[in-house]
Chains A and B, each alone.
Chain A
Amino acid sequence: MAMSCTQGGLTMNGSIVGSYVVPVHPHPLLVPEKNEGWGRLRAAFDEARDAIKESGADLLIIYSTTWPSIIGHQIQADPNPQWTLVDHDFHDLGSMDYSFNIDAEFAEAWNEANHNRGLQSRTVAYHGFPIDVGSVVALKLLNPDNAIPAVIVSSNVYANRSETTVLAKACLDVIKKTGRKAVAVTAMSMSNRMFTEFIEPSEDRIHSLKDDEWNRKVLEFLEEGRLEDVAQLSRTIHQQIRVQKVVTFKPMWWLSAMNGNRNNLTGRILAYEALHGAGGAVVQLDPTSTGMGDKEYDEDDVEYYKGERNVLSADEDTTISEESITPSAGPALWEPPEGKGAVNSKAAPKPVGMYPHARQVGDLLYLSGVGPRQPGTNAIPGGPIRDDEGNPVEYDIKAQTRAVVENIARILEEAGSSMDKIVDVTSFLVDMDRDFAGYNEVWAETLGHYGPTRTTLAIRALPTPIAVEMKVIAKI
C-alpha cells in the first residue's frame, strides 16, 4: 500500500513493505524437531525473518486472532512487556519467555487515529498483561532480537468487516504520517479445526481432506497475490473450514485493507503444514505488482465507522420518533389524502408528498412507490444510505428490500388484496452494481414466489436516504 510516490508498485517511505500470514500454535517455536512439518514451518518463519530484516522495515504490526477483545480493539502499548507464557492447550510443550520491544508511541497514535475514524479502541500498558500465544510465537520467531519495534492489535469478537477495514485504514494514517516502513502480520490459522484427541507428533496431518482442499485453494489465491479476493471470501471460508469460535476469518479483511484492497500482490507460500490438525501456513505477500488484473471490488470501501455501538446509553432515549428523524433524514411527511378510490394504511409509512398509498380503479390497485421506511418511527431497516451530512454510510440492501416487501403487504391488506394478486412490479435501485444481487435474493425469497412481472431500473436518487423502492400494480 503506497503512502507516497511510487515506482513499479514499490515505495520506500510511509508504506507497507511486506505482509505475512503466520500460524498461531507454539509447535514451530517450542518443538520444531518433533515433526518434519513443524520443522518446515520453523524454517519458513526463519526465511520470513530474514526477508523482513532485508526489507529495511522499521515497524512490525501484528494482528492476532488469539487476542480476542470486547471493548473495541486493544493495542499493546507497554514499551517492554515481559512474562513467561504457557499455552492453555499445549502446556506440556514447554514455556515461552518473552521480552518485546513495543513502539508505544505508534500504538498511542494508532489509537487516536481509530477514534478519529469512529472506532472504539484503547491501548493497554500493564505489567503482566497476558500477551497471546499467536503474538508471542510471531514476534519471537520473526523478530528474535527485537531489532524492529512492534505493535500488537487484538481481534475484536464483535467487529464486522467495516470495523476491521477501518482499523487498518487508521493504522495506515499513522504509517503515512510518520513515514514508517511497516510489515503487516496476521497471526492466524487457515483451517482451525484441531484434533480433539491427543495425538503423537508423527500422526499430525490436516484434520480433513475438505479442510486441506480449502486451505490449498486459499493459498493458491494468495500465491497469485489475490489478497482482496481472499478477503471477500472471508465469510465463506469461515463457514467452510473454521470452528465457529468468536474470532472468525476476519484477519484477511485487515490485511487486505492494509494493502489497499489489492489483488495484484506478489505472493509466496513459504510453508503449509498441519499443527495438531489445523492448517498452519507461512505466506509472504510482497507489495510489488505481478501485473495481474486488479480487484473487482464488490464490497463497499469503508472510510469511517459509523455503526451503532453505544449501547450503554440507557439514560438516552434511543427510540426514534418520527419528529426527531424527519427534519434531518429527508423531506417532510404528509398525511395521505383521502379521495375516490384512495387506499391508505396506518400500518404503512407516511408519504413524502400529497398522494395516497394506493388507488383503486376497477379491480386493479395502483400503489404509490413503496420504500422501506417504518411506519411510526420512519426508521430505515438496514440503515440509511447516507448520514445527516450527506456522507455515504454502510447499509444492508437485503434488510431494506425485506422492509419494502413488508410495507407492500400492509398496503395490499388494507385494500383487501394480497401478495399473490400482484401483477406487475417496477423496482428502483440507487446503486445497481452494489445492490442488485442482494435485492434479487430477497425478491426470490418473497415476491418472486408469486410470479409478477418485474422491471428493475437504476436511478440517481430517491427522496429519502433509501436504496430501493417498488411500484406495484395488483388485482383486488
Chain B
Amino acid sequence: MAKGSIVAGCIAPHPPHLVYAENPPQNEPTSEGGWEQLRWGYERLRESLSKIDHDVLVLLSPHWQTYVGTHFLGLSHFEGLSVDPVFPNLFRYEYNLNIDVELSKAIHDKASNSGLAVKMMENPDFRVDYGTITTGHMVNPAFDKPLVVISSNRSTHYYSVEVMQEMMMELGRVTREAIEESGKKAVILASNSLSHRHFTTETDVPEDMSKEHITSHAMHLWDMRIIDYIRTGQAQRILDEMPEFTEQAIAESDGGGLTWLLSSLSVPDYPGILHGYGTIIGTGNAVVEWPCHVHKGGSQ
C-alpha cells in the first residue's frame, strides 16, 4: 500500500450565514445573498481542491464541544435536520454525510496510545453539529467524499491555551501518522474563524452588507497579523502567539482546530494561500489553504 498523505490543509470557517447566503436546496431559509468576499474565497478553495486528488476530508469542529476527551464520529452514515441554536433563522439544513470510520478509528487509536483521552461516538441518534455541516457544505456541497469528524476538546477553558496546544499538537501528529499509514490522500480542515467577537444585534435583513464590519480595530489588527504570518510561511509564529491571540481576539482558535491543523501539516514554513477574508456578524474569517502537495518536506 502506498504511503498516504495530507494533500492540503485549510482554515475553513463555519458561520451558517455563508450557507444561508448561497440558498442551497438543503437549507430552508432563503436570502438575497451577502458575504460575497468569503463565499468567493470558498469558490477559489473548492476550485483549488478540485485539482488535487483526495479521498477524505478530516475536520475538527469547534461546535462539537466536548469537555471529557476528544471524540470522533464513529458510524458510517449520518443524516437529519440541523438547526443552528444561535441563528435558527438562517440555518435549517437537511444533511446527509458519510464517515470514514476506518480512518477515524485509526486516529482515535493512535491518540489513545499517545495518552490522549478519546472516544468514538456511536449513538445513531446523534445530531451532527452545525459547524461540521457548514464547513462540510462550503468545501464540498455534494458531500460526495467521506469525512472524519473530530470534536473540539475544551482544554483551553479547563486549563490554558498552553495545555490545549500541547494536546492539539499531539493530536495533529497522530492524525498525520494515521493518514500516512492509511494510504489515503486527505484534506485537513480546521473549522474556525479568527477574531471572534460578535455583534449582539442583528438587522432585520441579516444579509444587509451595509451593516457588516469587524467589531473593533483591535480585532482587525489581530486578524491581519495572523494572516500575515500565514501568507509569509510563519506558522510557527502563530503557535508562539496563540495564547495572546486567543485571549485578546477572543479567537475561535480556543477550540484547538488551528493548532491541530498546523501540527498535522508539520508546522508549514511555506506560505498559505489566502482565498478570502471577510467579517460575519463582526467576527473575522479567513479561507486559507496550505498546498502541501507541492511542498516537499511538508506533511508528505
Contacts and interface: CB of A to CB of B under 8 A. Distances in A.
A92 B221 CA distance: 43
A195 B117 CA distance: 11
A27 B199 CA distance: 35
A276 B64 CA distance: 19
A311 B200 contact: yes
B218 interface: no
Contact of A86 (B65, B85, B92, B126): B126
B49 interface: no
Contact of B200 (A71, A86, A90, A313): A71
A311 B199 contact: yes
Given A244-B157, A314-B213, A120 B83 contact: no
A310 B201 contact: yes
Nearest to A278: B67
B211 A314 contact: yes
A127 B129 CA distance: 16
Q: For chain A, which range describes its interface: under 10, 10 to 19, 20 to 34, or 35 or more residues?
A: 35 or more
Contacts of A356: none
Interface residues of B, number: 44
A132 interface: yes
Contacts of B200: 70-72, 120, 156, 158, 309, 311
B88 A276 contact: no
A121 to B, nearest CB: 11
A198 to B, nearest CB: 6
Contacts of B122: 91-92
B85 A132 contact: yes
Contact of B157 (A67, A90, A132, A245): A245
A194 B198 CA distance: 28
B67 A91 contact: no
A391 interface: no
Given A89-B66, A91-B123, A243 B151 contact: no
Contacts of B64: 88
A95 B127 CA distance: 11
B198 A70 contact: yes
B160 to A, nearest CB: 10
Interface in B38-68: 64-68
Contacts of A245: 154, 157
A202 interface: no
B66 A311 contact: no
Contacts of A92: 119, 122-123
A128 B85 contact: no
Interface in A127-181: 127-130, 132, 156, 158
A455 interface: no
B155 A196 contact: yes
Nearest to B117: A197
B201 A196 contact: no
B123 A71 contact: no
B120 to A, nearest CB: 9
Interface in A187-240: 193-198
A198 B117 contact: yes
Name the residue among A88, A94, A244, A315 with the largest chain B CB count within 10 angstroms: A88
Given A92-B123, A120-B200, A312-B211, A195 B85 contact: no
Interface in B89-111: 89, 92
Interface in B181-219: 198-203, 210-213, 215
Contacts of A132: 85
B201 A312 contact: yes
B69 A198 contact: yes
A128 B211 contact: no
A195 to B, nearest CB: 7
Contacts of A68: 85-86
B241 interface: no
Interface in A17-69: 67-69
A92 B198 CA distance: 33
A124 interface: yes
Contact of B203 (A88, A91, A130, A312): A312
Interface string A81-97: 00011101111101100
Nearest to A131: B85
A313 B211 contact: yes
Interface in A272-295: 276
Contacts of B68: 89-90, 194-198, 276
Contacts of A311: 199-201, 215, 282
A129 B88 contact: yes
A69 B86 contact: yes
Nearest to A128: B81
A68 B65 CA distance: 13
Nearest to B212: A314
A318 B121 CA distance: 49
A194 B281 CA distance: 32
Nearest to B63: A88
A124 B88 contact: yes
Contacts of A90: 68
Contacts of B211: 312-315
B151 A88 contact: yes
Name the residue among B65, B85, B154 with the largest chain A CB count within 10 angstroms: B85
B92 A126 contact: yes
Contacts of A128: 81-83, 92
A314 B208 CA distance: 11
A74 B85 CA distance: 9
Nearest to A311: B199
Interface in A316-361: none
A437 B71 CA distance: 48
A89 B200 CA distance: 28
A158 B212 CA distance: 19
A276 B122 CA distance: 20
A62 to B, nearest CB: 15
A91 B201 contact: no
A312 B199 contact: yes
A196 B117 contact: yes
Nearest to A125: B88
Contacts of B213: 314
A94 B122 CA distance: 10
Given A67-B85, A86-B126, A88-B151, 12 more contacts: A68-B85, A69-B85, A70-B86, A71-B202, A126-B88, A128-B92, A196-B153, A197-B68, A198-B68, A245-B154, A309-B201, A312-B211
Interface of B: 64-69, 71, 81-83, 85-89, 92, 117, 119, 121-123, 125-127, 129, 151, 153-155, 157-158, 198-203, 210-213, 215, 281-282
16 contacts: A69-B85, A89-B71, A91-B71, A128-B92, A156-B200, A193-B158, A196-B69, A196-B153, A198-B68, A276-B68, A309-B200, A311-B199, A311-B282, A312-B199, A313-B211, A315-B210
A-B residue pairs, 4 tightest by C-beta: A95-B125, A128-B81, A91-B123, A86-B126
